[in-house]
């Protein structure tokens, strides 16, 4: 028996959810200078030529560099969850400057950039965010910039890539492993499989039977099916010591089917060089994005272990 079609009201809600693949750009409300850090505005191109905007925060006499990117809907500043209309999506404010401050105080240089279609970086693919499937080219662009920069080219490199940015890094590692030979450590808070996240969200909206309709609407907008947007197939290609950080009771995920599977699929790394840290006491996904800024000890320990 064929599946019932969504009602007109359901179809309108499905189309609204599908439109999330073209997120509204969040503003950059604060800069490192608001936290007492000198920085430079820099820019470079992704592998496919998309212009990317970034901050470089220097640490005097340091040969260690952390490259940072961000989740979908955010930018190098973070996420203005206290402002409309972004508060309608999530009411948790995220400020990555706290992360940069912790890294800077620990004598790390920081390069943080806006992914394509976010912040002040260039547009591509009609504004579609692909949760890593296109953004991996930005990861390579950042590494190319470092390699070509006289001040940065000899530095030890660590990656701090959240969510979609973490997915992008894993995809980049699968496509161009040669770019990651100088990367010493990788931290990935909240890697995400969109089929799992959207199944939760659609089910809560009473639309759990219409995932195929959601996929089709996303593809019609120039995006991908939700199942394609997952780090699971790419995690086996990661060869860098990797720390995954995840809210255990994340209300937007099923972490035993997502973050745990991503971690289990890191089978190219010896067990002593990979770790999954669960954040307890909250169900808010965006609390996971604030974790490294509010509790930086684990982040600093991981980078210190592999970058000294």
Task: Tell me which residue has tokens 């190319």.
Answer: 144
Q: How does strand 109-113 pair with strand 51-57?
A: antiparallel
In a domain, 5, yes or no: no
Give the pLDDT confidence score for residue 4 in this predicted structure: 84
DSSP 233-293: TTGGG--S-EEEEEETT-TT--TTTTHHHHHHT-TTS-GGGEEEEEE-S---HHHHHHHHH
Report whether pLDDT(32) > 70: yes
pLDDT at 145 over 80: yes
Decide if 116 is inside a domain. Answer: yes
For the residues 93-97, what does the mean pLDDT come to?
98
CA 69/CA 160 separation, integer angstroms: 7
Which domain covers residue 95, as residue numbers?
A: 30-193+229-307
The CATH number given to whatever domain includes residue 295 is 3.40.50.1820
Q: What is the pLDDT of residue 2?
A: 54
- For residue 288, report the phi and psi dihedrals to the nearest 5 degrees: -65, -30
Selection from 188, 184, 143, 187 nearest residue 307 by Cα: 184
Q: Are 248 and 280 in contact (CB under 8 A)?
A: yes
Where does the pLDDT of residue 249 fall: very low under 50, low under 70, confident under 90, or very high at 90 and above?
Answer: very high
Beta carbons of 132 and 229 less than 8 angstroms apart: yes
Q: Say if 119 falls within a structural domain.
A: yes
pLDDT band at 3 (very low <50, low <70, confident <90, very high): confident
Question: How many Cα atoms sit within 13 Å of 243 on the Cβ side?
Answer: 22
Q: What is the mean pLDDT of residues 78-89?
A: 95
Residues 308 and 289: their CA atoms lie apart, in Å, by 25
Mean pLDDT confidence for 197-213: 94
Tell me, yes or no, whether 198 lies in a domain: no
* pLDDT tens digit sequence for 107-139: 999 999 999 999 999 999 999 999 999 999 999
In a domain, 203, yes or no: no
Rg over CA atoms, the chain: 19
Mean of all residue pLDDT scores within the chain: 96
DSSP state at residue 193: -
Domain count, the chain: 1
Phi, psi of 248 (to 5 degrees): -65, -40
- 298-302 average pLDDT score: 98
Evaluate if residue 27 carries a pLDDT over 60: yes
CA distances from 14 to 198, 199, 230 (A): 11, 12, 20
Is 6 within the bounds of a domain?
no
Mean pLDDT, rounded, for 7-16: 95
Q: DSSP string spanning 59-99?
A: -TT--EEEEEE--TT--SSEE-TTSTTHHHH----EETHHH
Q: Is 126 inside any structural domain?
A: yes
Determine, yes or no, domain membership for 66: yes
CB atoms near residue 154 (< 10 Å): 12
CA angle 193, 120, 91 (to 5 degrees): 55
1 has a pLDDT exceeding 60: no
Q: Is 301 exposed, middle or buried (0-12, 13-18, 19+ CB in 10 A)?
A: exposed
């Amino acid at each position: 028996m064929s599946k019932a079609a969504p009602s007109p009201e359901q179809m309108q809600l499905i189309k609204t959810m599908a439109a999330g693949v073209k997120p509204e750009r969040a503003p950059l409300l604060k800069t490192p200078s608001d936290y007492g850090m000198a920085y430079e505005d820099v820019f470079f191109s992704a592998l496919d030529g998309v212009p990317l905007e970034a901050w470089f925060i220097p640490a005097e006499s340091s040969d260690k560099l952390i490259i940072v990117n961000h989740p979908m809907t955010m930018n190098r500043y973070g996420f203005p969850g206290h402002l409309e209309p972004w508060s309608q999506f999530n009411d948790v404010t995220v400020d990555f400057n706290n992360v940069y401050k912790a890294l800077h105080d620990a004598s790390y240089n920081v390069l943080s950039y806006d992914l394509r279609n976010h912040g002040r970086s260039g547009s591509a693919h009609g504004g579609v965010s692909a949760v890593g499937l296109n953004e991996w080219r930005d990861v390579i662009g950042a590494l190319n910039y470092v390699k070509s920069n006289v001040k940065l080219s000899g530095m030890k490199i660590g990656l701090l890539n959240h969510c979609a940015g973490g997915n992008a890094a894993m995809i980049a590692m699968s496509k161009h492993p040669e770019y990651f030979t100088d990367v010493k450590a990788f931290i990935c808070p909240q890697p995400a499989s969109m089929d799992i996240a959207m199944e939760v969200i659609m089910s809560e909206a009473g639309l759990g039977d219409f995932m195929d309709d959601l996929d089709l609407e996303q593809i019609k907008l120039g995006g991908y099916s939700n199942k394609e947007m997952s780090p699971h197939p790419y995690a086996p290609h990661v060869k860098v010591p990797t720390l995954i950080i995840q809210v255990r009771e994340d209300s937007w995920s099923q972490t035993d089917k997502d973050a745990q599977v991503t971690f289990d699929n890191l089978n190219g790394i010896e067990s002593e060089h990979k770790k999954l840290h669960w954040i307890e006491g909250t169900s808010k996904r965006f609390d996971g994005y604030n974790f490294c800024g509010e509790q930086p000890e684990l982040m600093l320990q991981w980078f210190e272990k592999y970058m000294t």
